[in-house]
Amino acid sequence: MLRVRVQPRAGRDRIAGIHDGRLRVRIGAPPIDGRANAQLRRLIAKLFGVAPGRVVVLSGETCRDKQLLVKDAQSVPEVLRQEI
């Protein structure tokens, strides 16, 4: 399980580090019709080496603060390894 704070409509998709125990993620897509969530799932899937369908938004579908479940992760991003 992963706690994230999302900033939609950012200049580009990127991980902005850890803040208050949450992974800060900047997403270029707007928060309209689930586009930001879809882009977030694709970015997280790429980081963890899984298909986007393996990333599930457990809570916070319409909020900036979300809880994600990454099923069968193949790798752990460096920014998270530093926090473990």
Domain that holds residue 74: 2-81
User: Splitting the chain (84 residues) into consecutive groups of 10 residues, what average pLDDT does each group show?
Assistant: 95 92 95 95 94 96 96 82 62
**Cα separation of 65 and 49, whole Å?**
23
Total tally of structural domains belonging to the chain = 1
Q: How many CB atoms lie within 10 A of CB 9?
A: 12
Q: What is the pLDDT of residue 31?
A: 93
Q: What is the pLDDT of residue 83?
A: 57
- For position 72, which CATH number holds? 3.30.1200.10
The DSSP line for 38-73 is HHHHHHHHHHHTS-GGGEEEEE-TTSSEEEEEETT-
